[in-house]
Amino acid sequence: MLKDFRKFFFMIKLGYKYIRIFKETYFHPFITLKYAYQDLSKARQSYSNNVLEFLNIKVNIIGELPKKDKILYAINHRSLLDILVMENVFSRYEKNGTWIAKQELFDDPIYGKFFQYSGCISVDLENKRGLLSFFKTIKKTFSKVDDMNLYIFPEGERFKGDGIKSFQSGAQKIAKANKLDIVPVYINDKLEQVFKDAPFSEQYTVNVHIGEIISHDDLEEKYRDFYKSVKEKKIDE
């Protein structure tokens, strides 16, 4: 119980500190969209790296992120920790980008402002007008930010079963509409349990597998092929 309290207290206290940092950029009257996303990306990465250090978690990258930008990163989703782990990966490659998140996260009384002011883009899947506005926002962002990347959980929600949950259609539609290549990413750990057990007295390592660039056609099928190759590689080792 005390362990959980310390963990959440640290994350929330640090989160409010970073909300103030985000707001300086978010409400800056003169900063361009490109430099705003660069600053917000660095701030999110800094927050994530601080939390991972507190939790005593190391991220091991298997594979490489491409040098090019305008990529949609499709990532499996099990825990809040997924975002922190991936921000650590993006920080090591100095990537600029943002997360696609459900509107309900922006409405959350604790984390809502963090998502909003850190530059994440909300989507309301139940609102047709909201979806139209969402796609316009994405298109406008890519027209003004040439080093932009998008991060998304194609499963749409946390999945604590074995394997991969069926994908929602959003990731494929976003990639197609904006002519984005896709990089599949698989976090090879049950991070909901890792987060529950953290912070660790001895450093814990999380493995993140980065796949090759794929097209948006048949995204789920291609991702499952990538997932299968990760699992087969682990067995061979």
The per-residue pLDDT for range 224-234, each reduced to its tens digit, is 999 999 998 75
* Average per-residue pLDDT for the chain: 93
Question: Average pLDDT, stretch 9-23?
Answer: 96
* 159 touches 191 (CB < 8 A): no
Name the percent of the chain lying above pLDDT 90. Answer: 82
pLDDT band at 145 (very low <50, low <70, confident <90, very high): very high
* 170 touches 154 (CB < 8 A): yes
Collapsing DSSP to helix, strand or coil, 154 comes out as: coil
The per-residue pLDDT for range 86-143, each reduced to its tens digit, is 999 999 999 999 999 888 889 998 889 999 999 999 988 677 787 888 999 999 999 9
Name the DSSP letter for residue 189.
S
Quick one: angle between helices 128-144 and 33-55, nearest 10? 100
Cα(157)–Cα(101) distance, rounded to whole angstroms? 10
Collapsing DSSP to helix, strand or coil, 230 comes out as: helix
pLDDT band at 180 (very low <50, low <70, confident <90, very high): very high
* 154 touches 148 (CB < 8 A): no
Name the percent of the chain lying above pLDDT 70. Answer: 97
| 2-236 belongs to CATH 3.40.1130 | yes
> For position 160, what pLDDT does the model report?
85
Domain boundaries, the chain: 2-236
The per-residue pLDDT for range 42-86, each reduced to its tens digit, is 999 999 999 999 999 999 999 999 999 999 999 999 999 999 999
Q: Give pTM, 2 decimals.
A: 0.94
